[in-house]
Amino acid sequence: METASHLVFGFAFSFILFDYLFPRIFFDGKWISGFVGILFVIGFLTVLKFQLIFYPLAFWKVDFQTYWLEGLRIVQFQFFTFTVWVFFAYHQIQKEKIEKEVALEKLSIEHNSLQLSPHFMLNLFSALIVQVRSNSASLYHDLENFSVMLKYGYKSLTIENSLLDELTAIESYSKCQYLRFGEKLQMKLHLDYEGEIAKHVFLPKMILLTLVENIFKHGVFLKPKTPCIINCKLGGGIFEAPIKFSFMIFNLVDVNRDFPESGFGMESVLKILKYNFGDQFCFIYSLVEGEFSLLLSIDYGQNI
């Protein structure tokens, strides 16, 4: 009876202390009411516990040494639980911080994407493409690639984005860049994936496309001897093999140029990957003497 009472009342006090009183003191800044609450809870639970343990003896007839030992027991037990609570509270704060940062990044992107109605723009553009098709096949394909980019750009962040959506956007984006620079563009793009597998796995919007776009923002991509290289491989997904995805970029960077901060660079990509994939991904990049290299791998750990 006595051991069970100590255990039950100890955890009851810990629950009230760490779930209500400590947050009231440390987070809300209500020091006086918090400490008064702690003293009240200690007194109330101690009296109630002693009334149960020493019944029918009244709690005020319990000797001082018993109260002293009870006080020491409370201090020891709460010191241990306080240590556990600190680590738990720190973990929760870090988790909430990451969630808020990711939400802020998404809000920033949505704010920057405020335009005319996407349906109006896409329907109008599709109508123009149909009219062009009969006059110029090459122009039709160029506009079709641009249409894919428009549709992807207008896609809401609240709609789930698949790996296939991201890779399709990269292919269309690269074709638009070839249209822009022509034969001067030195880029080797190799995407090795099965569409049926890629459409079943998730990847946050703009993750890969941001990395590719950085080549044209910060890189050297017009030198024939040093082309930029983009490779990806999607493996697994059949015969119960886990799905694994790898993405690699290599290009030169003109370190003498000053580039404006985009507000959505490597750190933002890393935060979003960590938020969505935890420890199931690897993201490494380096810049050494003007040579930039990047490797992203994701272990989806599933099959279709």
How far apart, in whole angstroms, are the C-alpha atoms of residue 182 and residue 175?
10
Q: What is the pLDDT of residues 201-259, one digit of tens each?
A: 999 999 999 999 999 888 899 998 999 999 999 988 666 678 999 999 999 987 776 65
Is the pLDDT score of 55 beyond 90? no
Rounded to 5°, angle at Cα 254 from 175 and 233: 45
The answer to whether 262 and 221 have CB atoms below 8 angstroms apart is no
Question: How high is the pLDDT of residue 52?
Answer: 64
Compare 291 and 128 and report the one with higher pLDDT: 291
Confidence of residue 13 (pLDDT cuts 50, 70, 90): low
How far apart, in whole angstroms, are the C-alpha atoms of residue 39 and residue 58?
21
Q: Where is mean pLDDT largest: 47-56, 68-77, 94-103, 160-169?
A: 160-169
Question: How high is the pLDDT of residue 63?
Answer: 65
Per-position b or e across 138-158, b if 16+ CB within 10 A of its CB: eeeebbbbbbbbbbbeebeee
Average pLDDT, the chain: 79
How far apart, in whole angstroms, are the C-alpha atoms of residue 157 and residue 270?
17
Which ranges of the chain would DSSP assign to H, the alpha helix? 2-16, 22-26, 31-53, 64-112, 118-133, 137-154, 163-181, 195-198, 207-218, 266-277
Is the pLDDT score of 84 beyond 80? no
Question: How high is the pLDDT of residue 202?
Answer: 94
Question: How high is the pLDDT of residue 145?
Answer: 83
- How many CA atoms within 13 Å lie on the side-chain side of 210? 18
Arithmetic mean of pLDDT, 293-300:
95
Confidence of residue 64 (pLDDT cuts 50, 70, 90): low
Arithmetic mean of pLDDT, 14-42:
70
Instruction: Give CA separation, 288 vs 94, 251, 294, in Å.
Output: 32, 11, 12
**Pair of tokens at residue 80:** 């241990």
H/E segment holding residue 288:
strand 281-288
Which pTM does this prediction carry? Answer: 0.59
The total number of residues shown for the chain amounts to 304
Arithmetic mean of pLDDT, 285-301:
92
Arithmetic mean of pLDDT, 49-63:
60
Three-class SS state of 12: helix
Confidence of residue 143 (pLDDT cuts 50, 70, 90): confident
Arithmetic mean of pLDDT, 148-162:
84
The answer to whether 194 and 202 have CB atoms below 8 angstroms apart is no
Instruction: Give CA separation, 44 vs 39, 41, 68, in Å.
Output: 8, 5, 16
